[in-house]
Amino acid sequence: MRSTDLIRFARDAATGNPLRASLLVLAMAIGVAAVVVLTALGDGARRYVMSEFAALGSNLVIVLPGRSQTGGFNPGAAITNTPRDLTIDDALALQRASAVVRVAPLVVGTSEISVGGKLREVLVAGTTAQYVELRSLGLAQGRFLARGDWRRGAPEAVIGAKVRDELFGSAPSLGQLVRIGDRRFRIVGVLAASGQGLGMNTDELVFVPVSLAQAMFNSNTLFRILIEAHGRDAIEAAKQQVTNIIKLRHEGEEDVTVITQDAVLATFDRLLGALTLGVAGIAAISLAVAGILVMNVMLVSVTQRTAEIGLLKALGATGGTIRQVFLTEAAMLSLTGALVGFLLGHLGAAVIRYLYPVFPAFPPDWAVLAGLTTALVTGILFGVLPARRAARLDPVQALSKH
């Protein structure tokens, strides 16, 4: 039997029973769609976290007060116990490190901001002029905090876009006096809208000089110190220099945790990469179930088409030809199901991206290829047993059952 005749015969056999064919196609489609959607979610989570950390700035080294006993980093830990405060003087000393470009101390707390009878709670970040360059933040109006002595700050503030809209509406905000906590500040700048990032919405932030923030919150300890290294190759050198400087200043005690952006990114990349593989494996189970369904339905098909098989053999078809007919039919149905599942999976990923625009739910190419290949291979493998049974039928007995 020629290849074209074989394909045409298998197609007619598959479409001869629409319900059976539809069930096989649906089973395969669900399996492939599950692989595509779940890997899109897993890989999307990895890309989202990577982009969020990249938005923090480049070549970052972060110093946190308190020594992590395990050497790890808990992103949810905002405050740690430490035998010695991490101070502004410590941050100033870090500027001496040769591998360091910029240093920005950071104090964080909540307070109330009020103007013209309007009042709302905000997250107040005390920092210095270098913070905006280190974090690559954009300004919509005005300027950032002025350069000067970190221990003495002018009473000026930079507000987020949402804070500006809620407090001033269409009225000008630059130069206006606002009350933050028990102090008065003059607004010198408005940040460009940027939205949520790693749990901190810069649109709702208010920046003030670090020394004034410490006075407002009655604390001498910095929340953390952000450091920018000269380049990616200098990150490890910057980390070592920072550790040594802090250790010297703290009487030989290594009572801070120094982490690098690359280390955090690598950790999340490994974790979320493993998660993606895990959910892909779980989704692939549905392909195995679909393969079993292919085998069961094809076995029933052999029983129903006994007379047809007998007639083919009586006309001279060999056992090999009969096997090829059934395997081609199984492959055709599996491939159709895989393609339908591919389209459904991409449609599902598109819906996720539409509902959550910031979440890059794109299925990785390897997952799509693996899903399509597995579906096709599974369908053929589970079609072998029915094909062999059909090929072994005796033509006389098969025709006698007609």
Is pLDDT larger for residue 353 or for residue 266? 353
Rounded to two decimals, the pTM is: 0.60
Identity of the residue numbered 256: V
Q: Is 80 exceeded by the pLDDT of residue 241?
A: yes
Rg (CA), the chain: 33
In this prediction, residues 276-304 reach a mean pLDDT of: 73
Instruction: Identify the residue whose tokens are 């769609």.
Output: 33
Q: What is the DSSP string of 169-195?
A: TTS--TT-EEEETTEEEEEEEEEPP--
pLDDT score for 1: 55
Q: Which residues contact 31 (CB under 8 A, 6 or more apart)?
A: 283, 284, 286, 287, 289, 290, 337, 341, 371, 375
pLDDT score for 116: 85
pLDDT in tens, 262-279: 777 777 778 877 888 887
What is the number of alpha carbons within 13 Å of residue 131 lying toward its C-beta? Answer: 26
Q: Is 60 exceeded by the pLDDT of residue 79?
A: no
Nearest to 352 by CA among 343, 361, 344: 361
Element (H, E) at 229: strand 224-229
* 3 state DSSP class of 332: helix
CA 186 and chain centroid, separation = 39
Q: Is 80 exceeded by the pLDDT of residue 124?
A: yes
Alpha-carbon torsion 236, 237, 239, 243, what sign?
positive
CB 291 within 8 A of CB 31: no
Q: Is 90 exceeded by the pLDDT of residue 49?
A: no
CA 352 and chain centroid, separation = 13
Mean pLDDT, rounded, of the chain: 81
Q: Is 50 exceeded by the pLDDT of residue 81?
A: no
Q: Is 60 exceeded by the pLDDT of residue 80?
A: no
Neighbours of 44 (CB within 10 A): 22
Phi, psi at 358, each rounded to 5°: -80, -10
pLDDT score for 189: 93
Q: Is 70 exceeded by the pLDDT of residue 63?
A: yes
Neighbours of 225 (CB within 10 A): 24
Q: Which two tokens stand for residue 281?
A: 């494996």
User: What are the beta bridge partners of residue 118?
Assistant: 115
Q: Is 50 exceeded by the pLDDT of residue 288?
A: yes
pLDDT score for 180: 93
Nearest-10 crossing angle of helices 319-355, 3-15: 60
In this prediction, residues 15-25 reach a mean pLDDT of: 79
pLDDT in tens, 307-342: 666 666 666 667 677 777 777 877 888 888 889 999
Rounded (10°) CA dihedral 53, 56, 58, 62: -90
